[in-house]
C-alpha cells in the first residue's frame, strides 16, 4: 500500500523531533532499493531505514540494523564520501506530496558549512532516493533520462526538479466547507475517488474513513443536502 501525503506529514513531524541534530555515522544499502542511515543522537543511536521499492515505499526509525552487504554499491560509496559525519539540520516535506527532504550540514574547508540534501521520493512505483548539492543531482537510485521523461530528468548532473505539484485542496489547511463544496453533486466513479480528485494529501484509505465517519455510503454516487451538512463538520477533516 502506498503512503499518503498526510501519513508522510505525520512522519515528518516525528522525524523533526527525533533526528534533527543527529550525526550520520553509518551509511549502508541493505538492498538495491533501500538505504540505512545510522544516526548518533546526544544519548543514543538510532537507524533511519528508507525503502524505495516500487510496491510499498516507506521510511521509519528502527533500533535493529540490517546486515551490511560485503560489496557496497557505487551510490552507497558516494553517500559515504559526502554525508558521513554530517548532521541532519532539517527535515521537511514538499507540500503534502510524498517527498521528504533531509538537509545535511558538514564542516568543509576553512571551517565553511556545506549543506547537502537527500531527497526521499516515496511516490509509489516511481520511488527514488536522490542526492543533491546546490540544486544539482549528484546521483540517485533510479536514473531517468530526458528521453524517458523530457519534463523531468533525474540523473547525475541534472538540476533537481520536484515532482509536478498536485492539484487539489490541501486537506490540512482548507476549511471543511470548501472541500465539501468542491465535491460535485454527482460523480462518475464513486465518492471516495471524487474526494481524492478535489484534494491533495489523501488516498483511498483516508477518503473511505472520512466518508464513513460522516455515515455516507462508500458506494453512493452523489451527496444529499444532509450529507453535505454533516460532512461539513470540521471534525471530519485533519488540521495541522
Q: Is the pLDDT of residue 189 over 80?
A: no
pLDDT tens digit sequence for 63-72: 877 777 788 9
Q: Are 73 and 29 in contact (CB under 8 A)?
A: yes
For residue 8, name the pLDDT band (cuts at 50, 70, 90). very high
pLDDT tens digit sequence for 214-236: 888 888 888 888 888 877 765 55
Query: Which residue bears the cell 508522510?
Result: 8
Strands (E), the chain: 23-28, 34-40, 45-51, 58-62, 87-93, 99-107, 113-121, 128-133, 136-140, 169-170, 199-200
> What is residue 108's predicted lDDT score, i.e. its pLDDT?
80
Q: Is the pLDDT of residue 53 over 90?
A: no
Average pLDDT of the residues in 189-205: 90
CA distances, 225 to each of 39, 169, 181, 187, 193 (Å): 53, 21, 11, 15, 19
pLDDT, greater one: 226 or 35: 35
Amino acid at each position: 500500500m502506498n503512503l499518503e501525503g498526510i501519513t508522510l506529514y505525520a512522519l515528518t513531524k516525528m522525524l523533526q523531533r527525533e533526528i534533527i541534530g543527529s550525526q550520520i555515522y553509518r551509511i549502508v544499502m541493505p538492498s538495491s532499493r533501500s538505504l540505512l542511515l545510522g544516526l548518533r543522537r546526544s544519548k543514543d543511536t538510532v537507524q533511519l531505514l528508507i525503502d524505495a521499492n516500487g510496491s510499498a515505499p516507506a521510511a521509519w526509525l528502527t533500533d535493529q540494523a540490517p546486515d551490511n552487504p560485503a560489496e557496497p554499491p557505487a551510490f552507497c560509496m558516494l553517500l559515504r564520501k559526502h554525508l558521513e559525519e554530517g548532521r541532519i539540520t532539517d527535515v521537511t516535506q514538499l507540500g503534502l506530496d510524498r517527498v521528504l527532504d533531509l538537509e545535511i550540514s558538514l564542516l568543509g574547508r576553512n571551517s565553511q558549512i556545506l549543506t547537502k540534501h537527500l531527497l526521499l521520493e516515496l511516490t509509489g512505483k516511481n520511488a527514488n532516493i536522490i542526492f543533491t548539492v546546490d540544486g544539482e543531482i549528484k546521483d540517485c537510485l533510479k536514473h531517468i533520462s530526458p528521453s524517458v521523461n523530457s519534463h523531468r530528468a533525474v540523473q547525475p548532473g541534472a538540476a533537481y526538479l520536484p515532482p509536478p505539484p498536485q492539484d487539489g485542496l490541501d486537506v490540512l489547511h482548507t476549511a471543511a466547507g470548501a472541500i465539501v463544496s468542491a465535491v460535485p453533486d454527482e460523480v462518475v466513479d464513486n465518492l471516495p475517488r471524487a474526494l481524492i480528485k478535489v484534494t491533495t494529501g489523501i488516498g483511498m484509505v483516508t477518503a473511505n474513513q472520512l466518508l464513513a465517519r460522516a455515515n455516507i455510503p462508500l458506494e453512493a454516487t452523489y451527496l444529499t443536502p444532509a450529507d453535505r451538512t454533516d460532512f461539513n463538520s470540521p471534525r471530519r477533516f485533519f488540521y495541522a
